[in-house]
Amino acid sequence: MNLKENKKTDKNTVQLTVEVKGDEFKSAVDAAFKKNVAKMTVPGFRKGKAPRKIIEKLYGEGVFYDDAINSLYPTAYESAVSESGISPVDNPKVEVTSVDSDGFVFTATVTVKPQVDVKDYKGIKVVKNVYNVTETMVKGEIEALRKQNQRIVDVDREAKSGDTVNIDYEGFVDGVAFDGGKAQGYDLNLGSNTFIPGFEDQLVGKKASDECEVNVTFPEEYHAQELKGKAAVFKVKINAVKEIQLPELDDEFAKDVSEFDTLTELKSSIKKKLSEQKSKQSETELENALIDKLLENTEVDIPPVMISRKVDSMMAEFEQRLAGSGLNLNTYLQYMGTDLESFKKNYQPDAEKQVKTRLALEKIVELENIVVSDEDIEKEYQMIADAYKMKAEDVKRFIPASEITMDVAVGKAVEFIKTNAQITEEKPAAQKPTSKTATKTSSKTTTKASSKTTTKTSSKTTAKKTEEKKSAE
């Protein structure tokens, strides 16, 4: 293989002119002959027995050239890409410009990664939200647990808002029963506003075994044309009145809903979990803020194909999630009342941001000479393996080390930006003190980011690749 020319034809387009000559080509033609001779019919010879010169005379000297070119082209193209130092982002457009018995020449026109200019990525100024876990938050989690373990029990009293009444009912318009207006043993939560306006209010104060008439008017926008705006009477029988009973907040409750023996231990565990969640939220928001600032300082002309490929990747991921829910994309689009092209446009802004972010971070990897060790790569493989409950060796079959290396390097670039940022810690407005005494204490602290904070940029990217490749198998 001989790279004859490496020519830039447009801002992000390169044309490679590659020559494959001599013994390399002749060996490929010989292999093509051996592969195809048994299929070729030559008068006077049994299949597979005709001499090559006879076949070439009958079918033409170049009868085996196409197969030879097809076998040599992939390696020749990859070698030319490596020698030229370009980074293709799309499949090339290939044209064979000449071919004879001594070899062939082809051109490969390909879109490459764009030039990226990143400025002022050191010392980025951002605000980091620092969240305190309050007793109100802990109480909220406890109340959620109580509601998950609530009971609905029959009560011998008048119904009130918030109760559930079990009813039989039948509706009439102008004295005539209408379709869909009858049910037995129906549980209706009073105050849920699931029935016609006014219906639930008229059952407040009723007791089990009571019978009553409920007078309502169907709304003008009611879905049944024949009932819009019509006055109706429902004959209702109350079968039972039920109320929600929440469990008592005590040690027995803690034992029932958790592995803890006391309510105090349960609350401590909840507070710890909330603190961890808030810490992760804070770090995620910080990284997003840093990336937003980085993109403001990044100039790049992104080839459209990079964005369209990212959109396709995001769509494929969405389709996988739909499949997990038993749906397909066509059904979902019909349900949403949209078409594929319109739906894909929704992904365009986020896809462009993701591509620009990746390009900016890869540029920082280059500028700062960020190095990834073998240990880093092994850790990343193991992290993905743990996430998908696979063996690390199996993950290596799906994702080559070259891809892992850049993913890890990009994660290190995020850490580099964070470590060198000027970060002001601040409580969100909702958590700032409001009393005069409290406001005297500064809620801001300017600091450099801790290098102990880790990013999950690389593991997310490579984990996604593993999932996609597993699905493809």
DSSP string, 72-84: HHHHHHHHHHHHH
Q: Is the pLDDT of residue 209 over 90?
A: yes
- Tell me the two tokens of residue 132: 């305190």
C-alpha 259/C-alpha 246 separation (Å) is: 20
Check if the beta carbon of residue 364 is closer than 8 Å to that of residue 121.
yes
277-472 matches 151-245 in CATH topology: no
C-alpha 356/C-alpha 24 separation (Å) is: 41
Closest listed residue to residue 77, CA positions, set 91, 63, 64, 89 = 91
Domain locations along the chain? 2-112, 151-245, 277-472
Query: What is the per-residue DSSP string for 267-316?
Result: HHHHHHHHHHHHHHHHHHHHHHHHHHHHHHTEEE---HHHHHHHHHHHHH
pLDDT in tens, 88-117: 999 999 999 999 989 999 999 999 999 999
Domain 277-472 falls under CATH 1.10.1740: no
Identify the residue whose tokens are 């389709």: 319
Predicted TM-score of the model (pTM): 0.72
If one compares 302 and 445, the residue with the highest pLDDT of the two is 302
* CA 425 to mean position of chain CA atoms: 29
Q: Is the pLDDT of residue 402 over 90?
A: no
The stretch 123-143 carries a mean pLDDT of: 94
- Tell me the two tokens of residue 379: 């850790």
**327: confidence class by pLDDT, cuts 50, 70, 90:** confident
**58: confidence class by pLDDT, cuts 50, 70, 90:** confident
C-alpha 352/C-alpha 304 separation (Å) is: 9
3-state secondary structure 12-51: CEEEEEEEEECHHHHHHHHHHHHHHHHHCCCCCCCCCCCC
Question: Under CATH, what is the fold of the domain 2-112?
Answer: Alpha-Beta Plaits (3.30.70)
Check if the beta carbon of residue 228 is closer than 8 Å to that of residue 220.
yes
Q: Is the pLDDT of residue 56 over 90?
A: no
Contacts 24+ apart (CB under 8 A), 33-40: 33/64, 35/67, 36/64, 36/67
Closest listed residue to residue 73, CA positions, set 90, 100, 92, 87 = 92
* CA distances (Å), origin 271, targets 128, 158, 381: 21, 40, 33
Closest listed residue to residue 395, CA positions, set 381, 409, 416 = 381
Q: Is the pLDDT of residue 441 over 60?
A: no
CATH class of 151-245: alpha beta
**430: confidence class by pLDDT, cuts 50, 70, 90:** low
pLDDT in tens, 64-96: 899 999 999 999 999 999 999 999 999 999 999
The stretch 284-295 carries a mean pLDDT of: 96
**467: confidence class by pLDDT, cuts 50, 70, 90:** very low
**433: confidence class by pLDDT, cuts 50, 70, 90:** low
Mean pLDDT over the full length of the chain: 88
**331: confidence class by pLDDT, cuts 50, 70, 90:** confident
* pLDDT score, position 36: 85
